[in-house]
Amino acid sequence: MTAATQPGTMPMSDAAAQPVAGKKTTSGLMLQSDKWQRISPLSILYYALKFIMAAVRNGVQALAPVAAVVATTGENRWLALGALAAVAAVGLLIGSILSYLNFKFRIDHDAFLIRSGVLTRKRLTLGFDRIQNVAFREPLYFRPFGLVILTLESAGSTSEEVNLAGIPRPLAQTIRQYVLDRKKTATSSPNQMAEHQNTGAAAEAKPAADLLRQPIGELARYGLSNNNIWVFAGITAGAIGQLDELWDSAFVESLFSGVGDVVGTGIMAMTTLVVFMVLVGLFLLMGTSVLGAIIINYKYHLTYQDERYHRTRGLFERQETSVPEVKVQSLKIMQPIIARLLGRFHLVFKQVGFEGKQNKGNQQKFIIPSVTWAFTGELAKRLFNNNDILGARLSPISTKFITRHAVFSFGIPSLLIGGLWTIGMGWYGLVPPVAVVVVVWPFIALRHRRYGFAINDTHAVVRSGLLGRTYTVFPLFKVQTMEIRQSPGQYRSGFADLKIKLAGQNLTIPYMPLNDARAWRAAAMQQVETSDTPWM
């Protein structure tokens, strides 16, 4: 049974009671108050760790020469290093305390008012209409005290606008519900507002739909099949490459001498050792990727409520993130080569509000890891109003795509280079260019085979890839622009490249029949002009 709400109040939530403006919450703090409020003193630890992480990311290279100078100051080097560490620790503590003391916030009508800063004082007014997402983070050091970090992400920002670090969870839930309710009221049409006033009661909130819970096994599959393995490999190779002293002749000679004593000096013995070391390195990289996937996505839980997708995950830091359904511009379905062997797909909501943070890594993307094709189809239907575009048959692009790249992108440039080589090498100079064309041609053919496209009245899907596959599904009314481009050869043969621009994402369908490209553009224009559904 639900109780009617009076004007100026908000409905009750299961998480926490919604406060009347100007009244205290269960945490003793107030919403819509003229008094500035502080966060928990435990936020000092949050600021200290934040400063340390910033130093690790940005200041290690600058501090390395200073540390080298101090370390070479004779017998007093350790005393100097200790003094330097003590000064840094005191500075870190003072900076963290001042950051806590200078951070204040309050809610004034439809905006957050923030005061912060140590050396430079900042004043921020963040309107509810600019807030794209309200997320929770629960670090390990806050968990015993029931505190969380409330993150308010604003439209068009490449960084988090506001972090309320160290506030009680009930208060954070109250603030989130308060912000979402005010945004919903602000974006309601006059008819909806009139209907709400006539009924005199808020509609009962629908229960959350439990969409997905990922066990450890699925997270391990995600760690094995995502592309983070190659990212770790690149970082490791770069780090090893910086160790110039490791590769001096004396070290390499002693290394091979020791290996020779163990496995012998024959070609087969050395080949076996190299293969073994490669396998060990690959195993370590895969283990690192799996461990990282489990730590980041531990107890992954996906739900749907009030037209928003809610995600909870994390071992050391629990993260609670919600995404408004209306802000999802497209659904990206990725299946790398290892995921194909495992029969799994990784989904990403491409959305307004998150794309500016892509450079910060996958933690900022709304990823749904390691799901089956059946789950993907059901989620796509829920996301796109029961539209079964994923079940449509995909049309291929023209085989002229293979000819274009095999001949003009690789063939002719390779032959020109080979022609120059024949001056000094004779006809043997043509062997490397021909080998390049022979090796590259199967990959071009595979790339051609991966391309596919389909469209119905309201939605479209584009498939691409090389060894793996990527599907991008999107509603036509969210298309920003569609551009048809034709080279002279495409103009004569009746094909074109279709360039599709969505919010934060660009797609290309190469060597598409010209009539199909024009039909796509016409369908998108019609949907943009006739659809009254908000696109963000």
Q: Report how far apart the first and last C-alpha atoms of the chain are (Å, whole number).
A: 34
Same domain, 227 and 317: yes
Contact 219, 294 (CB under 8 A): yes
Instruction: Tell whether 35 and 133 lie within a shared domain.
Output: yes
Beta bridge partners of 108: 111
Backbone angles phi, psi at 99, to 5 degrees: -65, -40
Residues 183 and 244 in one domain: no
Residue 511 belongs to a domain? no
Both 122 and 264 in a single domain?
Answer: no
My answer on whether 19 and 53 are in the same domain is yes
Answer whether residue 137 is part of any domain. yes
- The number of distinct structural domains making up the chain is 3
User: Do 159 and 102 belong to one domain?
Assistant: yes
Assess if residue 508 is contained within a domain.
Answer: no
How much is the average pLDDT of 304-308? 88
Alpha helix (H) residue ranges in 404-461? 412-425, 431-450
Q: Domain for residue 459, yes or no?
A: no
DSSP collapsed to 3 states, 166-181:
EEEHHHHHHHHHHHHH
Q: What secondary structure letter does DSSP report for 356?
A: G
Same domain, 415 and 281: no
Percent residues over pLDDT 90 in the chain:
31
Q: Kindly tell me if the per-residue pLDDT of 132 is higher than 90.
A: no
Whether residue 458 has pLDDT greater than 60: yes
Residue 235 confidence class, pLDDT cut points 50, 70, 90: low
Encoded tokens for 406:
């095999």
Identify whether residues 214 and 80 lie together within a single domain: no
Q: Is residue 282 part of a domain?
A: yes
Last residue of a domain, one of 331, 349, 374: 331
CA dist., res. 444 & res. 402, Å (int): 6
Q: Containing domain of residue 60, as a range?
A: 12-205
Q: Are residues 241 and 106 in the same domain?
A: no
Identify whether residues 47 and 172 lie together within a single domain: yes
CB 320 within 8 A of CB 173: no
If asked whether residues 191 and 228 sit together in one domain, one would say no
User: Which of the pair, 152 or 447, is modelled with greater confidence?
Assistant: 447
Is 506 within the bounds of a domain? Answer: no
Q: Which of the listed residues 331, 354, 382 is the one where a domain comes to its end?
A: 331
What's the pLDDT tens digit per position in 352-394? 654 444 334 444 588 999 999 999 999 999 999 888 888 899 9
Per-residue pLDDT reduced to its tens digit, 244-253:
444 455 555 5
pTM: 0.77
Contact between 92 and 108 under an 8 Å Cβ cutoff? The reply is no
What's the whole-number average pLDDT of the chain? Answer: 78
For residue 346, list its beta bridge partners.
334
d(CA 382, CA 209): 11
Q: Predicted confidence band at 295 (pLDDT cuts at 50, 70, 90)? A: very high
3-state secondary structure of 264: coil
Residue 88: how many other CB atoms lie within 10 Å: 14
Do 211 and 197 fall into the same domain? no
DSSP codes of every residue in 18-82: PPPTTSB-TTS-BSS-SS-B---TTHHHHHHHHHHHHHHHHTHHHHHHHHHHHHTSGGGHHHHHH
Q: Is residue 254 part of a domain?
A: yes
Q: Which of 182, 150, 180, 179 is nearest to 166 (CA)?
A: 150
Q: What is the pLDDT of residue 202?
A: 44
In a domain, 385, yes or no: no
Output the pLDDT for position 332.
Answer: 95
Q: pLDDT tens digits for 170-224?
A: 888 888 888 877 766 655 545 544 444 444 444 455 788 999 999 999 999 999 8
Quote the DSSP letter at residue 117.
Answer: -
Final residue of a structural domain among 153, 171, 205: 205
295 or 21, which is more confident:
295
Distances (CA, A) of 364 to 166, 167, 356: 21, 22, 9
pLDDT tens-digit map of 493-508: 999 999 999 987 899 9
